[in-house]
Amino acid sequence: MIAVVRAEDFYTPPPELPADIWADVPVAERVWRWVEYRLQRRLTPPEGFLIGEEAWAAINHNRWVADCTCGSAQVVSPADQRMACTECGRGWVLLVFPADVAAVEAALVDDEPHLRNWVNPEAPAPAPPPPPPPPKGRPIPGGTP
């Protein structure tokens, strides 16, 4: 059986490094090492929590993920329920996982992994897209203002 992928399964060291080199790095912080290695520059996670802010964990194509307000997303884990965004630096925020993670994963087990998707029904609806910009160009003579 293919399990739902979590951060500790996804953000692993590159093959040329020892497999356990990030073993002492908290699960939620491994994305920072992973991105750091790929960009080849030092990245520093933010300090402290954004009090009262949260992000909702979901399953997308068999991965536990959470979205940042900047539009980026990352693979997350119920083993370390927090997130800081490597794209915009926002964080740390608490992640909201379902009360019974195993039950949610079990409910999807009969689906092909790439078809496994789940959104927490208690999550607020996503913000509506911004209104379209006003049309450009000159007003049409005789047209409505």
Minimum CB–partner distance for residue 132 and Zn ion (Å): 24
53 binds Zn ion (CB under 5 A): no
Among 72, 106, 109, 119, binds Zn ion (CB under 5 A): 72
Segment near Zn ion (CB under 5 A); pick from 2-10, 41-49, 62-70, 109-117: 62-70
What is d(CA 126, CA 132) in angstroms, rounded to the nearest whole number?
17
Q: Report the residue number, 68 or 101, with the smaller CB distance to Zn ion.
A: 68
88 binds Zn ion (CB under 5 A): yes
Instruction: Count interface residues toward Zn ion (CB under 5 A).
Output: 7
90 binds Zn ion (CB under 5 A): yes
Binding residues for Zn ion (CB under 5 A): 68, 70, 72, 85, 87-88, 90
